[in-house]
Structure 1
Amino acid sequence: MALPPHGEGPAGDRVIQQTLETTWPADLSPTDEQELRVLGTALLRADATGVGRADWPDVFDPHQAVAPAFATVRFRVQAVIARRHGTGARAAVVHLVWAATDRGGTYTDGRISDRYFTRSTSKKGVPTWKPQPRQ
């Protein structure tokens, strides 16, 4: 399956998503994968644009003001999957392909980021995915 050319826009996102899914077959439960896809996307958006950083106090210092590197207007996740990371069932990686306009005004698609999570248990005994520091 050939990837769409850079600059294809949203029309090429479906092919990128299919390529990720074909290249890395699913190995998490559908529920875990969906939860991790949502978490990974939100974490990437917060990191790249600054929007939602307060939702991640364990990842972003709430007292540190950081100028976002990318504009929220042209930020788009093109494709995202979540898979196990390593040999255990308690670690996962979210692979994201995304597009955005940087502070200099340059729009680039096909950016690649990975966000790592570990399974933990909340104070109420509910299993949850916790983001790990950037690697």
Structure 2
Amino acid sequence: MLTWPPQSSPRVADAPARQSVTIPSGHPTLPSSSAESAAPQDGTTTAGASAPTPSASAAALPPHGEGTAGDRVIQQALDTAWPADLDAVDERQLLTAGRALLRADATGVGRHQWPAYFARQEAVAPAFARARFRIQAAIARQDGAPHRAVVLLVWAGTDRGGTHTDGRITDLHFTRTAPTNKKEGPAWIPQPRP
């Protein structure tokens, strides 16, 4: 989960605009082998060395309203927080599908590609204009099993009322289906929201 500090107090307003990444407990920050390899191999301890603290995993993010200039930093923060655990082909397919699905959900463009996903939302008008919608960063990772995945997207958009917001977060869950014939590979199917 990406979080931003409150901007209401004068003390915060005087400080440089910085944001931090808070990593949910359900997602690993380091692979267990990395944590073990950080300890000295000879069994001795190093003076002053300590285990990483939650604040050590926080990284500076661009301020709200930074525009496309901050997108690369957000992408790097996601990649660092959740190391890749999918095959590169699966990850590309999921990212392509996740981006298109979010764009269809937010703007209404392309909803016909996922009739089952949008079956209950036919009457809901899209809230965001196509021209003012942008995906800032995205990652695809396993979701507890090899046949399940989650695509985490951070995005920005301007709603019909003219309010622009960035740093919005959407998780889209997918399951892998078996191929129906030998020429097709497995497909990733989006799961409806609960």
Report the TM range for the smaller structure's normalisation.
over 0.9
Aligned residue number for residue 13 of structure 1: 71
| 8 A contact 1:99–1:107 mirrored in 2 | yes
Q: Cα 1:44–1:63, aligned 2, differ >3 Å: closer, same or farther? A: closer
Quick one: distance in 2 between partners of 1:115 and 1:134? 8
Aligned residue number for residue 38 of structure 1: 96
* Residue 107, structure 1, aligned to residue 164, structure 2: yes
Residue 189 (structure 2) aligned to one of 125, 130, 133: 130
**Deviation for aligned residue 1:122:** 3.6
**Deviation for aligned residue 1:64:** 2.6
Q: Report the secondary structure of 1:80's partner residue.
A: strand
Amino acid at match of 2:188: W
More strand as a share of residues = 1
Computed over aligned residues only, the root mean square deviation of the Cα atoms, in angstroms, reads 1.5
Quick one: distance in 2 between partners of 1:10 and 1:18? 14
Q: Report the secondary structure of 2:93's partner residue.
A: helix
Deviation string, structure 1 residues 10-63 (Cα, Å, up to 9, x no partner): 000000000000000000011111110110000000011100000111211299
**Deviation for aligned residue 1:67:** 1.1
Aligned residue number for residue 124 of structure 2: 66
Q: Report the secondary structure of 1:2's partner residue.
A: coil
Count of residues in correspondence between the two structures: 134
Gaps in structure 2 of 5+ consecutive residues? 1-58
Q: Cα 1:8–1:51, aligned 2, differ >3 Å: closer, same or farther? A: same
Residue 84 (structure 2) aligned to one of 20, 26, 30: 26
**Deviation for aligned residue 1:121:** 1.8
Quick one: distance in 2 between partners of 1:133 and 1:62? 10
Aligned residue number for residue 75 of structure 1: 133
* Residue 92, structure 1, aligned to residue 149, structure 2: yes
Q: Cα 1:16–1:45, aligned 2, differ >3 Å: closer, same or farther? A: same
Amino acid at match of 1:52: G
**What is the TM-score when the length of structure 2 is the normalising length?**
0.66
Gaps in structure 1 of 5+ consecutive residues? none
| 8 A contact 1:54–1:62 mirrored in 2 | no
